Chains A and B, each alone.
Chain A
Amino acid sequence: MTPSILNTDERAMITYINGDREFKAYLLHNGLTIGSVIYKNYSPRYASLTSITVNGRMISLRQTDFNKIDWVRI
């Protein structure tokens, strides 16, 4: 797990995805896999969702799902 928090407007690259095959496949269908570059968008805490931009699209994932993604800030 990535311990630090990705802040709004920061950019990161996915380094590892924890979770089962189904989860990895689900993320893949959303354009997220190892090597994908993501941008963190404004994500207020009340929603428990993390909003990111990947490949020019803005998507929101449940916070618990996003926490399964390891990334490195770039």
Chain B
Amino acid sequence: MVGKDIFLVGKPNSGKTSLFNRLTGMNQKVGNFAGVTVDITTGVCKGQQLSDLPGLRSLRSMTPEEKISRDLILSNPEAAILFVASGTSLSDDLLLFSEIADLQVPMILAINFKDELSKNHININIHQIKDLVGCPVLLINAKDGSGLDELKHFIKKSAHKVPSSFCRSLYEEVTEDGVENTYRRSMIDKTLPVDIELHESEFLKRQKIISSVIRTAVTKEEDSEHLGTSKKWDKVLLHPVWGLIVFLAVMYLVFQAVFAFSGIPMDWIDGAMSSLSSWAGETIPDGWVQSLVADAIIPGIGGVVIFIPQIAILFFLLGVLEHTGYLSRISYISDNFLRRFGLSGKSIIPLMSSWACAIPAIMSTRILDDPKERMAVIMASPLMTCSARLPVYTILISVIFPQEGGFFGAQGLMLLGLYLLGVVATLVVAWYVTKRSKIKGNQYWSLELPVYRMPNWRNIWTTVYQKTKSFVIEAGKVIFAISILLWLLASFSPKSQQYKEQAYAEYKATTTDATLLTEEAFDVEYSYLGYLGKGIEPIIKPLGYDWKIGIALISSFAAREVFVGTISTVYSIGSEEDATIVERLRNEINLDTGGPRYTLATGISLLLFYVFALQCMSTLAIVKKETGQWKYALWQFVLFFALAYVFALAAFQLLK
């Protein structure tokens, strides 16, 4: 039985999540709230249910994340508040504390970053602060856990107390029934006009009350060492030259690390899944159950699990950048450039993450507080060249540009061009979405530059675990379902087995082709998937494709990388080695012209198709999860498909 609801509230960067992780351990669950996709993490501490609310600057601020916190606080007057304040900016944090205190809900004030206070010789007189706020006050350090035993004891005893009021008296109105206080109502009722003069005088009054105590209770707040050190670092890390060099070096290292460190575990997962699939094929008796398990269920699970290393590594590295305070500096550096496309510097992280994989990138758009900007990045980021496009690009470029030309060869330039095209397309789509979207964006923008700190490893690991788990559960369900659907289409045929065997025997007897199709490839041709490929041939013929490429396109709608495996099967290649596939594709004959099927025109057309088409069901699943609606995922799918078709058509018709 879980007891009282306690909301963990505080300003951004006050150390709430670190404290939450300390108090709840791994005993957490993530809930999705309707409307705006913001995760509220809940956990249990000493029998009480603790919820970690998004950072809040003021009860009156209205960014999507802040609105969630605000609405939860205002609609749950019976819930207690555990307010986390940063000891290094106490006067600022107490302004928010005082706004919540005026709601007269039971509270505890936890002043965090005890270590930084002592390191920077900042002294806080807790007794004076307690006299000011009128509820229990504790000095804690969420990083090393000091002061948390006492805090847990307070939580267990439900020691929260209704604090002193600060400006509540400003909202007293005399009615027929007596004196009514309208403070809570003024926060809830959105129809009331914004009385900025009242808010200003209220703010000044709060500031005056708090400053009068802080002046004597806290020493060395404004000119403390920790701010000075950060400012010194900023002179290097935000410098027009050095700042840019450090920024490029950090980004290079992050993405190299994502590729380099994920390669081995991804190969391991791939190998393990292949072995498991083979084992299932040998153990389960022949039949559709064997095929379902070995060819659909296990590869379907593998298709989800294989992304775990990339997601975990990327979120770990982003976590390190975020915790050190450098992530905000990256946003600062890139803001001016991205503003031309309707975005802000905060978008740089999800956009660059998309080079590794669009899935963690879309998940990381939660750092964007502007809903319009967030939507633009969600909609545009799948156009950045993700790692799944790389095997497709590599094979097709090798087919159409046979000669290696060294460092500046055609193959390398083509690959670079495709990456640049992805960036340009992303920025154009983002610009278009910000211009046309009806979502109300934030009119004003500010960026907090937190002080530089050592990362909190415990917190980073918890985030990595939660994000990875969220991906596996949410995106995994869709990937799994579509894998089974593709298996059904590839495994069953409208023709009888006898008909297929007879047709294959006739084909073997009559064909003069040196590269004879295997029976497996023949089965694919006569499957529903094969018929689908033939069915779409009239649509894809103007792009220079035949039904075999059509099958590869349809099957790779699940995931781009499936293209390689599918063409291996369709062209009867027993192995998936690049060289073999490349050779086979180069030798493929276009029956209409008698020339090669994979000409420069067809190759460029296919490459452009893969630049734009959204062939990744995991991405669609995550877009649905993050936006809360399928319509955005469908819109994205249709738009990108249209772009892919138009560009591929134009390329083929111009180059043929």
Interface of A toward B, CB cutoff 8 Å: 21-26, 28-31, 33-35, 39, 41-42, 44-49, 51, 53-62, 65
Contacts and interface: CB of A to CB of B under 8 A. Distances in A.
B449 A51 contact: yes
A39 B448 CA distance: 14
Contacts of A47: 238, 332-333, 335-336
Interface stretch (B55-63, B135-143, B262-270): B55-63
A59 B221 contact: no
B240 A44 contact: yes
A58 B451 contact: yes
B200 A65 contact: no
A41 B235 CA distance: 9
Contacts of B194: 21-22, 25
Contact of A61 (B222, B235, B446): B446
Contacts of B199: 25, 28
Contacts, number: 110
B255 to A, nearest CB: 23
B92 A57 contact: yes
16 contacts: A21-B196, A22-B194, A24-B196, A25-B194, A28-B203, A33-B200, A34-B200, A35-B204, A35-B207, A42-B235, A42-B238, A44-B240, A49-B336, A56-B89, A58-B230, A62-B444
B88 interface: yes
B439 interface: no
B246 to A, nearest CB: 13
Nearest to B450: A58
A37 B503 CA distance: 86
Contacts of B443: 22-23, 26
Contact of A44 (B60, B61, B91, B238): B238
A24 B443 CA distance: 12
B61 A29 contact: yes
Given A55-B91, A58-B449, A29 B336 contact: no
A23 B238 CA distance: 27
Interface in B35-63: 57-58, 60-61
A59 B447 contact: yes
Contacts of A26: 61, 443-444, 446
A30 B239 contact: no
A45 B241 CA distance: 12
B168 interface: no
B221 A29 contact: no
Contacts of A35: 204, 207
Given A60-B448, A65-B445, 4 more contacts: A21-B194, A30-B57, A41-B231, A48-B335
B102 interface: no
A41 B234 contact: yes
A48 B449 contact: no
Given A28-B200, A29-B61, A56-B222, A48 B336 contact: yes
Contacts of B613: none
4 closest A-B pairs by beta carbon, nearest first, are A56-B89, A55-B92, A29-B58, A58-B449
A46 B450 CA distance: 20
Contacts of B395: none
Contacts of A25: 60, 194, 196, 199
A63 to B, nearest CB: 10
B243 interface: yes
Contacts of A29: 57-58, 60-61
A46 B247 CA distance: 14
Contacts of A55: 89, 91-92, 95
Interface in B420-475: 443-451
A21 B60 CA distance: 13
| Residue of A21, A29, A62 with highest tally of chain B CB at under 10 A | A29
Contacts of B639: none
A46 B241 CA distance: 10
B424 to A, nearest CB: 22
B91 A56 contact: yes
A68 B628 CA distance: 38
Contacts of B451: 58
Which of A34, A41, A65 is packed against the most chain B CB atoms within 10 Å?
A41
- Looking at A46, A58, A59, the one whose CB has the most chain B CB atoms below 10 A away is A58
A29 B55 CA distance: 13
Nearest to A26: B444
Interface string B234-268: 11001110010000000000000000000000000
B227 interface: yes
Given A29-B60, A55-B91, A23 B444 contact: yes
B482 interface: no
Nearest to A34: B200
Given A23-B444, A24-B200, A44-B243, A56 B90 contact: yes
Given A21-B194, A35-B204, A47-B336, A59 B446 contact: yes
Contacts of A21: 194, 196
Nearest to B87: A56
A6 B403 CA distance: 59
A49 B447 contact: yes
A60 B92 CA distance: 16
Nearest to B61: A29
A60 B450 CA distance: 11
Contacts of A41: 231, 234, 449
Contacts of B61: 26, 29
A42 to B, nearest CB: 5
A55, A61, A62 — most chain B CB neighbours (10 Å): A55
A46 B345 CA distance: 13
A31 B240 contact: no
A51 B329 CA distance: 11
A28 B99 CA distance: 13
A21 B92 CA distance: 22
B231 A42 contact: yes
Interface centre among B92, B239, B451 (most CB of A within 10 A): B92
B525 to A, nearest CB: 58
B231 A56 contact: no
Which of B88, B207, B231, B450 has its CB near the most chain A CB atoms (within 10 A)?
A: B231
A34 B230 CA distance: 27
A17 to B, nearest CB: 9
A55 to B, nearest CB: 3
Contact of B449 (A31, A39, A60): A60
Nearest to A53: B227
A16 B417 CA distance: 51
A3 B39 CA distance: 45
A54 B194 CA distance: 24
